[in-house]
Amino acid sequence: MSDSDKERLLREEGVLLMKNVIADDALVSVKDQYDHLDISLERTDIVKDRPVIVFWRHVMGSTKRLAHFDEFPALWQLITNCIVPTLRQSFPERTKRLQLLETIIFNKPPEISNTLNWHQDVAYFPLKPNNQIAVWIPFEMVTAERGAMVYAVGSHKLGPRGSTNLHTREKFENEDRDLIPDDPTTIGLEVRCMEMTPNDMLVHDGYTWHYSGPNLIKGYTRRGLSVRFVTEPAAFDPRPGQGAAFTRQIDIQPGDILDGAPFPLL
């Protein structure tokens, strides 16, 4: 597929699955360092002087933990030496400006993990304009039974939607925007399950609706790395219902352009 086709498909469908763009050995030290940190990481306090990596287990009641890149250098290398160059090469128009917004590793332990319900990333982000792209890479093969990502193709064109509790779908207090329907096929959207290997990379628009089901396979872990980038200067625009961890790192006044050490330009 040519780079202009990739750019066009991302613009038209709001999501693109790129096959075989991650080298076999690219994730080896990332997974090693993740496993090492995961054993002892307890930090939950947010810092405002550097970006954080959110460790998020998809189990009801579990607390998000926070790592720093100086203790997870392989992940910084992956973002700067692999993810950013791949994005820039594939989507030159869309990625002229890439500002790191947040980095999350989603972990679905076997059998006890739950569904992360339909959502739109930008619903949780207090920015205006609210234009981002996100990358998602699995650490293991993912299938429908192993918590693969599922997208409503073209949903990014339907504008902002309300934010809900991702585990229960309960609407947040003061949320007055329309919600994503329970089943986007009822409004004519195609729903596509993205089965992937760790050589593949998903790219989605911040407005595209998506969810992931539970990991049902006994003895099988399922981790997914998500890195989100702001693609144009964006002002801080707080509103109720926007609960992403990085919002507590913002140290500017409403109306000011997002910047600062947690949000470097790459």
Residues that bind ligand AKG (CB under 6 A): 106, 116, 121, 134, 136, 147, 210, 212, 224, 226
3-state secondary structure of 54: strand
The least distance separating ligand AKG from the CB of residue 132, rounded to whole angstroms, comes to 10
- Measured from the CB atom, the residue of 207 and 236 that comes closer to ligand AKG is 207
The least distance separating ligand AKG from the CB of residue 256, rounded to whole angstroms, comes to 26
- Measured from the CB atom, the residue of 55 and 106 that comes closer to ligand AKG is 106
The least distance separating ligand AKG from the CB of residue 73, rounded to whole angstroms, comes to 22
The least distance separating ligand AKG from the CB of residue 147, rounded to whole angstroms, comes to 6
Neighbouring residues of 236: CB distance < 8 A, sequence distance ≥ 6: 126, 127, 250, 252, 253, 254, 255, 256, 257, 258
- Measured from the CB atom, the residue of 247 and 259 that comes closer to ligand AKG is 247
Name the residue with tokens 């290997």.
197
**Cα separation of 11 and 204, whole Å?**
10
The β-bridge relationship of strands 52-57 and 201-205 is unpaired
String of b and e for 62-87 (b: at least 16 CB within 10 Å)?
A: eeebbbebeebebbbebbeebbbebb
- Measured from the CB atom, the residue of 138 and 262 that comes closer to ligand AKG is 138
Residue 200 has which token pair? 């593949």
Name the residue with tokens 């739950």.
114
- Helix or strand (DSSP H, E) at 204: strand 201-205
Name the residue with tokens 């729903």.
191
The least distance separating ligand AKG from the CB of residue 212, rounded to whole angstroms, comes to 3
The least distance separating ligand AKG from the CB of residue 2, rounded to whole angstroms, comes to 27
**Cα separation of 195 and 146, whole Å?**
9
- Measured from the CB atom, the residue of 6 and 210 that comes closer to ligand AKG is 210
**Cα separation of 50 and 150, whole Å?**
31
- Measured from the CB atom, the residue of 151 and 263 that comes closer to ligand AKG is 151
